[in-house]
Amino acid sequence: MRSKTTNRIITAILSYLVVVTALMFFIMPMLWIIYTSFRTQASIFTGKVIPPLSEFTLDNYTTILSVTDYAQYFVNSFRIAASVTVLSLLCSITGAYALSRFDFKGKNALIMGIFSTQMFPQVLMIIPMYLIIFSLSLLDKTIGVVLGQMVLVLPFQIWMLTGYFDNIPADIDESARIDGCGIFQRLLYVILPVGAPGVMVAGFFSFVVSWGDYLIVSIINQSQRTATVTLVIQRLSSALLIRWGQVAAATVLTIVPTIILFSFVQNRLVEGLTAGAVKGE
Amino acid sequence: MLHGDYGKLAGKPTMKERHKGLLLLLPTVLIMALFTVYPLLDGLRVAFTNKHLLKDTVQYVGLSNFIRLATDDVFWLSLYHSLILTVGAVVLQLILGLILASAMKQDLPGMGVFKSIIMASWVIPVAATVIMFKFMAQPDVGLINIVLKGLGFENLNRYWLGDLDVALPFIMLLHLWRNVPFYGVAFLAAMQAVPKSYYEAAEIDGANAWQQFVTITLPGIRSMIIVMVTIHVLWTFNNFDFVWLATGGGPVNATDVLPVYVYRQSWNSYTIGYGASIGSVMLGLLMIYFVVYMRICERREAR
């Protein structure tokens, strides 16, 4: 029989082996694209991993920011993602609160219905969606894309926030109700402060989904002027002659906002995302 | 099913309040109705027409789109790829996620930092992920080929996403890259909720690590596994971005999946009616999966 200490050492070695492999696999591609973004085209094409210092440059970034309209696309993306975040939070906070605290006929069917929309193929819905947005004359407009992207985030957001609110004891808003607080006061002064971490994760989720969306924005915003960063890096990377250094720089600029936001929520992310699943254990 | 019992938690709102409660749901229900339910129903309707993006006349053509489907080789190939990709990605993600979670569960130095950064791959845009891997797959200058050259496998040098046999597994790899950390961290959260005393008792009974994993950990995180698998089967099967951005379905249909085929039929060939019929088949398959899977889970629960 092996002793307990040997067992523990073996476990530690195996765990670190998993961790190191995971780091190489999951983090290295990101580091590699960052590294590439600082190299000249000629340097990248030598196929060397460590080139001489003189082959590093900031030109890729200056070119992307001055020669192309990347800054404009960045603003477009930001405006869309921020709007989706605010609007979807308004809907999902109120909706989840209603689902969590009120009883009414057909509630479970409604929850199931909202969840099952995750099953609907986007590519099937995008045509009628395009026609609706067209008939509202909202093509190539921020609000058109925002409405289209809302349905990407709402079901999951509601599912997650309902689970999160369910974990907040009903006593606290019940006592606020007895004290004469209306629904909106309770939501604003009782539920939101206590549920802030969950709401933050829900907001983060809708921002990154909107920021990363390709399909909807590619259908609704077809003109160059209203393109977003995902469309632009896709176009840059499918050019006939790909300037990999510039593509890398644009890609890094596209990733940075999501990583910055991620650093704010990282520790709460999973707790928030899985609130709906952990509940009821 | 996915949530517990709400009735217990709900206070005792008055009738007046109940109406207000329903009012709170109104914006969500309206948006979902207009931009999800209606598009879906309309999409299903269009599947029975010969709607063409550039033609004004639309006629109902009965089942002819579906009859055409049955003899469309690209449809069957796409379906086959979709199934392989979904089953392969979800099964591998499940296994690798469990391994990752088990490693992260160990209380070791540095684990905290690791846990907090590992989900970064899940938050960045798919378009960016695809570019990172496309660049790494480049012949001569891509990292994969540089490493292979360093190891003496220079003859393997190629554009990996352009290789008929490798392209589809490579797409699967992209799914793994994005999702495995999410699985790992989610399973970890569930594992930490399993009472320690269970393991102590098992230890006294002489159960080894594997036996503890199978008899305590797995049942303990069962509901999390169910949720993760359900969501990811739906998300992977419906995923359009990875294949479209990485290969567009090529080389020569080698990575064609159903969502990409629907898109091409609708927006490149303009045959919207036919595209919609393929989309309807996708929905049908997912509904079958959903119902069967939920039945199995409920039966297990009852036992």
Which letter does DSSP use for residue B160 in this model?
G
Task: Give the nearest chain B residue to A95 (CA atoms).
Answer: B25
Whether residues A266 and B116 touch (CB distance < 8 A) is answered with yes
- 3-state SS, one letter per residue, for A85-130: HHHHHHHHHHHHHHHHHCCCCCHHHHHHHHHHHHHCCHHHHHHHHH
CA distance B89 to chain A (A): 16
Whether residues A151 and B143 touch (CB distance < 8 A) is answered with no
Chain A residues within an 8 Å CB radius of B28: 91-92, 94-95, 114, 154, 158
Whether residues B186 and A277 touch (CB distance < 8 A) is answered with yes
| Per-residue model confidence (pLDDT) at position A273 | 78
pLDDT category of residue B214 using cuts at 50, 70 and 90: very high
Which letter does DSSP use for residue B138 in this model?
S
User: CA–CA separation, A146 vs A31, rounded Å?
Assistant: 32
Portion of chain B with pLDDT greater than 70, in percent:
94
User: CA–CA separation, B217 vs A166, rounded Å?
Assistant: 25
| Per-residue model confidence (pLDDT) at position B5 | 44
Does the structure show a pLDDT above 60 at B256?
yes
Does the structure show a pLDDT above 60 at B116?
yes
Chain A residues within an 8 Å CB radius of B98: none
Among A49-58, A84-93, B78-87, B183-192, the minimum mean pLDDT is found in A49-58
**Who among B31, B133, B141 is closest to A45 (CB)?**
B141
Mean pLDDT of B210-232: 92
Whether residues B125 and A29 touch (CB distance < 8 A) is answered with no
**CB A80 within 8 Å of CB A146:** yes
Chain A residues within an 8 Å CB radius of B227: 274, 276-277
Q: What is the pLDDT of residues B51-60, one digit of tens each?
A: 998 888 899 9
> DSSP 3-state assignment of A56?
strand
pLDDT category of residue B20 using cuts at 50, 70 and 90: confident
Whether residues A270 and B186 touch (CB distance < 8 A) is answered with yes
ipTM: 0.93
The highest-level CATH class for domain B72-302 is: mainly alpha
Task: Give the nearest chain A residue to B105 (CA atoms).
Answer: A15
Does the structure show a pLDDT above 70 at B27?
yes
Whether residues A27 and B282 touch (CB distance < 8 A) is answered with no
Where along chain B do its domains lie?
A: 72-302
Whether residues B132 and A18 touch (CB distance < 8 A) is answered with no
| Per-residue model confidence (pLDDT) at position A278 | 59
Q: What is the pLDDT of residues B134-181, one digit of tens each?
A: 999 999 899 999 999 999 998 999 999 999 999 999 999 999 999 999
For chains A and B, what is the number of CB pairs under 8 angstroms?
A: 329
Does the structure show a pLDDT above 70 at B6?
no
pLDDT tens across the length of chain A (281 residues): 567 788 889 999 999 999 999 999 999 999 999 999 999 999 998 888 888 888 899 999 999 999 889 999 999 999 999 999 999 999 999 999 999 988 888 888 888 888 888 889 999 999 899 989 999 999 999 999 999 999 999 999 998 899 889 888 888 888 888 888 888 888 888 889 989 999 999 999 999 999 999 999 999 988 888 899 999 999 999 888 889 999 999 999 999 999 999 999 987 887 777 776 655 43
